[in-house]
Structure 1
Amino acid sequence: MIFSFFILFLILLRIGELFLSRKNEQWLLQHGAIEYGQKHYPFIVGLHVLFIISLIVEYSIIDYSIAATMRYSIRLLILFFVLMALKAWVILSLGKFWNTKIYRVNRFPLIRRGPYRYVKHPNYIIVIAEIAIIPLIFHLYYTAVIFTLLNGLMLAWRIKEENKALNL
């Protein structure tokens, strides 16, 4: 039951992020933004869709009757919500510039407030942690390992593209 609610919450959260991203994309394009790294974006979307499918599939085949542990980790669930608060900080810090795609508007300076005062790519640190922690909440070790590795490869490609766009 907790898993079903969590997955529904996660899906709704991702859809909300896509709506916000789309709204911000329109504003960015109206202000002369240029998109970068278009080739990798469908792979990112695919990775996140497959991640949710993998969570559901792995959870459905686990035999909890023989498992010695709880069905979910309360500590990791709390950590997930801490990550969501950090992600909200990132989104609020970037404002209209936050997007799931890579855009650059040359006439605006790079954001240096919020978590961007401390690290270059705080959103990606959060995404790395999310992809690892979400499956671990429910003891889904295969999904955790496979998608943490795939996400690492994807983010290496994306960060390279983003650094080119931002001239970092």
Structure 2
Amino acid sequence: MIWSILLLALVTAERLGELALARHNTSRLLAQGAVEHAPGHYVLIVALHTAWLVGLWPMAWNRSIDTAWLLVFVVLQGLRVWVLATLGPRWTTRIIVLPGAPLVKKGPYRFLSHPNYVVVIGEIAVLPLVFGLSWFALIFSALNGAVLWIRIRAENAALRGQPI
């Protein structure tokens, strides 16, 4: 039980820290002349991730941890750090485009267009599986898929300089 609470607390702290970093980076980018695209769907992303994490607390705080799934989750965290480190001050939770700035083509972006979303897809599914909550993983993976369908289309259009 203590390990479940510790893991949930660490993930919660990580997400809150990332929100602070995203706000900081967003402010800096906007001050440099960057433009936010398709902000309307952002509330869906926030609602989904909040419901996922808040929902995990009462469901998982007292459950045992599957170490194999925990290892997968730890690997995903390593990939998350790689994405954040690669994007540096350009990483944000919103679609922010800095005119004239080249697309990032290094790090995981050498292999995938949207490695951050691959990590998010994995996290949404895997953390509930760490606690044996496969039904929770399925529900939130389906909801995440719907939100990412909107998000990736909007981001691709913004990066191409096209209206949505």
Bin of the TM-score, shorter chain as denominator length: over 0.9
SS of alignment partner, residue 92 of structure 2: coil
1:159 corresponds in structure 2 to 152
**Paired residue type of 1:4:** I
SS of alignment partner, residue 39 of structure 1: helix
SS of alignment partner, residue 22 of structure 1: helix
Q: 1:105 aligns with which of 98, 111, 117?
A: 98
Q: How does 1:63-82 map to 2 (within 5 A)?
A: 71-82=64-75
2:125 corresponds in structure 1 to 132
**Paired residue type of 1:35:** E
1:33 corresponds in structure 2 to 34
1:2 CA displacement: 1.1
**Counterpart-to-counterpart distance in 1, 2:147 and 2:83:** 20
Aligned 8 A contact 1:76 1:137 in 2: yes
Q: Deviation string for 1:99-154 (max 9, x for gaps)? A: 00000011211110101011100000010000000000000122101000000110
Structure 2, unaligned runs of 5 or more:
none
Aligned 8 A contact 1:58 1:143 in 2: no
**Paired residue type of 1:128:** I
Question: Structure 1 vs Structure 2: percent identity of aligned residues?
Answer: 39
SS of alignment partner, residue 36 of structure 2: strand
Q: How does 1:81-92 map to 2 (within 5 A)?
A: 81-92=74-85
**Counterpart-to-counterpart distance in 2, 1:121 and 1:59:** 29
Moved over 3 A (4+): none
Q: Deviation string for 1:73-115 (max 9, x for gaps)? A: 1111111111111111111111111000000011211110101
TM-score (norm 1): 0.91
Larger radius of gyration: 1
**Counterpart-to-counterpart distance in 2, 1:93 and 1:17:** 15
**Paired residue type of 1:104:** V
Q: Deviation string for 1:23-77 (max 9, x for gaps)? A: 11111011101001211101111101100122123336x8x7xxxxxx2111111
1:68 corresponds in structure 2 to none
**Paired residue type of 1:2:** W
Aligned 8 A contact 1:55 1:140 in 2: no
1:95 corresponds in structure 2 to 88
Q: How many residues align?
A: 160
1:67 corresponds in structure 2 to none
The Cα RMSD (Å) is 1.4
**Counterpart-to-counterpart distance in 2, 1:155 and 1:23:** 23
1:18 CA displacement: 0.5
